[in-house]
């Protein structure tokens, strides 16, 4: 299933895996829409990629998401890569513990509700979660729980919105700007080095490698309801 001429929307596409997916889709001949919440990055993307449509909205803002999708006449494939990582103990601030659910769960619902009326019947929706679902970690309980909810929602939507396909990619450690913003450059380097020793292939992944899987999912018309780990084999250890 070729992507040439298809409309692909990337939510959370101004950096990291989302941006890599937007570039890969564009290189494959797709028409690209990137939605993000950083006006400066979106402005630069529009300058660097004249054929792209860019739109600014916070995924937690249902009205803003609806307004943006109202301008999409047809959607063939959608990839949602939005959602920050909140480090917070279970006894910590409730507003911070709610944040992953607002972004990953209710944000996903905002996007689905706005996008479904515009989807092509043979379209696909791909979400991203992470290996925290299978490998929970202290201080990240809310993120892991929200990611698990995303996987359940997508399996439910397979039936509710058939024949549109819903799949999930579940990356392991990936070198993206999110890590540097979260841990600082020294912390990022230390974390990546530590993770590399745990992965059977002895390295962490790249955003381009995740993007390649996302495009493959879009093009495989029989793949539906799957949660696909892409973690260098960590899930097998």
Task: Read off the pLDDT of residues 133-154 as tens digits, 9 standing for 90 and up.
Answer: 988 889 999 999 999 999 999 9
Coil, strand, or helix at residue 103? helix
What is the C-alpha to C-alpha distance for residues 105 and 147, in angstroms, rounded to an integer? Answer: 8
On the question of a cis peptide bond just before residue 163, with omega within 30 degrees of 0, the verdict is yes
**Strand blocks (E) in the chain:** 7-11, 31-36, 53-56, 75-80, 119-128, 165-171, 174-175, 205-206, 227-230
Percent of the chain with pLDDT over 70: 97
Predicted pLDDT at 177: 74
State both tokens at 192: 């990546």
Residue 232 pLDDT > 70: yes
- Phi, psi (degrees; rounded to nearest 5) at 166: -125, 125
What is the C-alpha to C-alpha distance for residues 174 and 163, in angstroms, rounded to an integer? Answer: 32
What is the C-alpha to C-alpha distance for residues 9 and 65, in angstroms, rounded to an integer? Answer: 12
Predicted pLDDT at 66: 97
Predicted pLDDT at 179: 64
Residue 211 pLDDT > 70: yes
Residue 87 pLDDT > 70: yes
Residue 224 pLDDT > 70: yes
What is the C-alpha to C-alpha distance for residues 80 and 91, in angstroms, rounded to an integer? Answer: 29
**Mean pLDDT, to the nearest integer, of 99-125?**
97
Percent of the chain with pLDDT over 90: 81
Residue 168 pLDDT > 90: yes
User: Which range has the worst mean pLDDT, 42-51, 75-84, 168-177, 202-211?
Assistant: 168-177
Predicted pLDDT at 181: 62
* Res. 88 pLDDT band, cuts 50 70 90: very high
Strands 174-175 and 205-206: parallel
Tell me the pLDDT of the chain averaged across its residues: 93
User: Which range has the worst mean pLDDT, 3-17, 49-63, 93-107, 168-182?
Assistant: 168-182
DSSP secondary structure code for residue 82 in this structure: -
State both tokens at 168: 């999930």
What is the C-alpha to C-alpha distance for residues 78 and 122, in angstroms, rounded to an integer? Answer: 12
pLDDT digit string, tens, across residues 55-64: 999 999 999 9
Predicted pLDDT at 190: 80
Residue 93 pLDDT > 90: yes
Predicted pLDDT at 237: 86
The dotted CATH code for 7-174+207-227 is 3.40.50.720
Q: Where are the domains of the chain?
A: 7-174+207-227
């Amino acid at each position: 299933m070729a992507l040439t001429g298809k409309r692909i929307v990337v939510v959370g596409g101004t950096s990291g895996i989302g941006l890599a997916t937007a570039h890969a889709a564009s290189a494959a001949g797709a028409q690209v829409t990137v939605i993000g919440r950083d006006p400066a990055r979106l402005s630069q993307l529009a300058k660097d990629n004249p054929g792209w449509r860019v739109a600014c909205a916070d995924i937690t803002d249902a009205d803003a998401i609806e307004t943006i999708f109202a301008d999409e006449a047809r959607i063939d494939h959608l990839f949602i890569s939005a959602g920050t990582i909140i480090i917070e103990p279970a006894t910590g601030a409730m507003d911070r513990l709610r944040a992953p659910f607002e972004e990953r769960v209710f944000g996903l619902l905002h996007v689905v509700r706005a996008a479904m009326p515009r989807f092509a019947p043979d379209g696909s929706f791909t979400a991203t979660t992470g290996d925290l679902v299978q490998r929970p970690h202290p201080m990240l309980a809310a993120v892991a729980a929200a990611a698990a909810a995303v996987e359940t929602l997508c399996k439910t939507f397979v039936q509710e919105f058939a024949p549109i396909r819903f799949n999930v990619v579940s990356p392991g450690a990936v070198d993206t700007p999110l890590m540097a913003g979260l841990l600082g450059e020294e912390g990022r380097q230390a974390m990546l080095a530590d993770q590399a020793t745990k992965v059977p292939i002895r390295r962490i992944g790249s955003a381009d490698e995740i993007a390649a899987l996302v495009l493959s999912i879009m093009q495989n018309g029989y793949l539906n309801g799957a949660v696909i780990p892409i973690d260098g084999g960590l899930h097998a250890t």
